[in-house]
């Protein structure tokens, strides 16, 4: 990691996130999805431990990649009267 710029490291994180999110969307087998998620977690932990990024910056990258893959994290929810009556 020492020879790469912060932008390159964050780009690598984006690639790892995209791969994990794509596997999730495709319904990949649990071991494969777990391996990809572990790689993302480990990479983020290394970036945090090295002081390259802070938690807020990581959350921003994750949110952007998630939104690019699945759309906005929030949506308008219309209450179901049958559920509310129960």
CA 52 to centroid of chain Cα atoms:
18
Helical residues (DSSP H) of 1-86, grouped into ranges: 6-26, 30-49, 55-70, 81-85
Return the pLDDT at 71.
78
In total, the chain counts a number of residues equal to 86
Residue 22: what pLDDT? Answer: 92
Tens-binned pLDDT, residue by residue, of the chain (86 aa): 457 899 999 999 999 999 999 998 888 899 999 999 999 999 999 999 999 999 999 999 999 999 888 877 677 778 887 777 76
């Amino acid at each position: 990691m020492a020879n790469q710029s912060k932008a390159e490291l964050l780009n690598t994180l984006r690639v790892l996130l995209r791969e994990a999110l794509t596997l999730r969307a495709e319904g990949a087998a649990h071991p494969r999805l777990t391996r990809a998620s572990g790689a993302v977690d480990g990479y983020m932990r290394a970036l945090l431990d090295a002081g390259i990024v802070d938690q807020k910056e990581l959350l921003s990258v994750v949110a952007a990649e998630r939104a690019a893959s699945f759309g906005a994290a929030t949506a308008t929810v219309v209450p179901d009267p049958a559920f509310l009556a129960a």
